Amino acid sequence: MKKEKKKITITVSPTVLLLAIIVLCIVWTLVTRPKKEKRTLKIDETPVIVDRIKTLGELNTACYYDELVLQGSKQNYFSTTPLGALARDGFGKDVDDHLVIIARGTVRAGVDLLEMSGEDIRFVGDTVFVRLPEAKYLDIIVNPSDFEVFAESGNWTHEQVTALQGTAKERLLQGADYYGLKMKAYEGAMDAVTTLLEASGYSFIRFDHSPSYIKLPSPKD
């Protein structure tokens, strides 16, 4: 008895067929497309233009370093809607935009030797009388590489970020004041000038001017 062959029929709907063709096309395109370089953010090379050259005579003797956390928050479109208000007031959800930046800054202090006139340094025998200018903050440095965006939600414009970053400067100065950076810079400047003058053969170096933040012992002491 002859065995009957079973007929298997597969019915494919036109939609499935169409999808399969599309998938195949996509796969084919991806496989055969020429390998390009990874298309990421491209920073173009531009020249650095020197705008101004200034002669300095800054004796930098003390630096203050600190890490700060800068936090900013602002309302967004959703938080101003009734739904946002409900989420905030009714459920205690924070619906505002937030930006948290870590800033690592440096304050450099010292004396500006260009502020000295000819009378501020007098050589009498083996003694030198020096009147140093008051120490001041020479630089407050927080560069782009010193900022780290730790958390960011919502859209923050460049101006808003700059305003937040600007607060780092004030806080760094407060910290420098707290640690008495100017006084340390002045002491460092006296030390540096003493080393230089002693090396030049002078035995006695007298500083005959002291800024207000240096407390010298009174003659009675």
Partner 1 sequence: MRRTEIIKAVFTLVLPAMLLLGCSRKSAKDTNADGLEAITSVKELGLVEYRVRKIVKADDEGEWYKIGDRKILFSCTAYLKAGVDMSSFTVDDIVMDRSNGKVSITVPHASLLTINIPSSEVRLEYDQVTLLRSSFSAQERNLILRQGEKSIRDSVPSLGILEKAEENARLFFEALFSKMGFTTVEVIFK
At closest approach, how far in Å is the CB of 35 from partner 1?
Answer: 11
* Whole-number CA gyration radius for the chain: 35
Interaction of residue 39 with partner 1, rule CB under 8 A: yes
Cβ proximity of 139 and 108 under 8 Å? yes
Beta strand pairing status for 136-141 and 97-112? Answer: antiparallel
Compute the distance between CA of residue 110 and CA of residue 61 in angstroms, rounded to an integer: 5
The size of the chain, in residues, is 221
Complex with partner 1: residue 4 or 45, whichever CB lies closer? 45
Residue of 52, 117, 215, 216 that binds partner 1 (CB under 8 A): 52
Angle formed at CA 135 by CA 134 and CA 140, multiple of 5 degrees: 145
Compute the distance between CA of residue 16 and CA of residue 21 in angstroms, rounded to an integer: 9
Interaction of residue 127 with partner 1, rule CB under 8 A: no
Compute the distance between CA of residue 119 and CA of residue 131 in angstroms, rounded to an integer: 8
Interaction of residue 196 with partner 1, rule CB under 8 A: yes
Site for partner 1 in 149-168 (CB under 8 A): 149, 152, 155-156, 158-159, 161-162, 165-166
Residue of 57, 115, 204, 209 that binds partner 1 (CB under 8 A): 57
CA 16, distance to chain mean position in Å, is 56
At closest approach, how far in Å is the CB of 54 from partner 1?
Answer: 4
Residue of 79, 95, 99, 133 that binds partner 1 (CB under 8 A): 99
Residues near partner 1, by CB under 8 A: 36, 38-66, 99, 101, 108, 110, 113, 118, 121, 123, 138-145, 147-149, 152, 155-156, 158-159, 161-162, 165-166, 175, 179, 181, 184, 188, 192, 195-196, 198-201
